[in-house]
Structure 1
Amino acid sequence: MNDVEDEQEQEVGRWVVRSYGEKVGDYQMVAGWMEGRGMGRLLENLLPPMGIVVECDGEAVAASWIYLCYGIGVGFWEGLITKPGLSPAMGLAACRHCLGALKAIAVANDVSVIKAYAKGTLARQAEKHGFVKLDEGLSSLITIA
């Protein structure tokens, strides 16, 4: 059994992935998370149109976005943020659900390659889900969806 399967067995709760913007207040929620993490102001018009929110037991716990480049089969994973104060296990589970959902969205939109920039824990989680590190430092990652 691999690390992803081990971690999934330990997950509890009912997980749902929905579209970002589906509920009133999604922008304010994510902006609040960013402020809570000291990340500065979120400019809503810079977010890709394809975004998701991951919920556990009805509570939003993470959000992520992907740029879909129609006609060339490439997507760019643009950020992932979790709600401040989550336990490490909950944060990792939310990350797994985001990555799985974004890969499914990519496949449904004829995207076969997803490129990303990540570091630290996020880069390690992406690698566990099929991304391949291309260089050191700020990890440049790519996967086949």
Structure 2
Amino acid sequence: MKIQARLANDEDAAMVDGWMRRRGKLAWDPRTLPPTGVVMEVDGVPCAAAWLFVTDGYCGVGFLHNLATNPDVSAVRRMAAARGLMDVMRDIGLQNGCHIILGGIRDKRLLKTARRLGWMAGDEMETPVFLKI
């Protein structure tokens, strides 16, 4: 398998929205996504994507958003792409002065993958909240 990262574009935001809707999840309005989006391709097929909101260098916090995988590809390809994506998100965070990246993962397999890569799970009783204005 050839796994490759590329920057996300407007069409990718729509693609990820489709992946999330098929899973009954809500994606954000593409107009609100930062330029730090990445799509991981396996053998040229988009398999995973995410965006990283980066605060100014003063507080060094990044927010992982819309981590999603393509429901039309095998679990092996999705997880391989997700592993690569989490590494790329870490690298983008480091390049932008982040000391910590916060985010949410609900899928148990993705959470297991994240833990293997050094990500830590927070309080599982906490529910992420947001206000769309």
Q: Which TM-score band (shorter chain)?
A: 0.7 to 0.9
Q: Which amino acid aligns with 1:47?
A: L
Asked whether 1:38 is paired with 2:24, we answer: yes
Match of 2:109 among 117, 121, 134: 121
Distance across 2 between alignment mates of 1:87 and 1:111? 32
Q: Which amino acid aligns with 1:67?
A: F
Match of 2:52 among 34, 45, 66: 66
| Higher deviation after alignment, 77-86 or 39-48 | 39-48
Contact 1:76 1:115 in 2 (8 A): yes
- Report which of the two has the higher share of strand: 1
Distance across 1 between alignment mates of 2:85 and 2:127? 18
Asked whether 1:51 is paired with 2:37, we answer: yes
Long gaps (5+) in structure 1: 1-12, 141-145
Q: Give the number of equivalent residue pairs.
A: 126
Q: Which amino acid aligns with 2:83?
A: R
Highest RCO, 1 vs 2 (Cα 8 Å, sep ≥ 6): 2
Distance across 2 between alignment mates of 1:50 and 1:33? 19
Match of 1:80 among 67, 70, 82: 67
Match of 2:123 among 135, 138, 143: 135
Asked whether 1:92 is paired with 2:79, we answer: yes
Long gaps (5+) in structure 2: 129-133
Q: Offset at 1:102? A: 0.4
Q: Offset at 1:92? A: 1.0
| Higher deviation after alignment, 126-135 or 55-64 | 126-135
Runs of 4 or more, structure 1, over 6 Å off, are none
| Higher deviation after alignment, 51-60 or 118-127 | 118-127
Asked whether 1:111 is paired with 2:98, we answer: yes
Contact 2:20 2:27 in 1 (8 A): yes
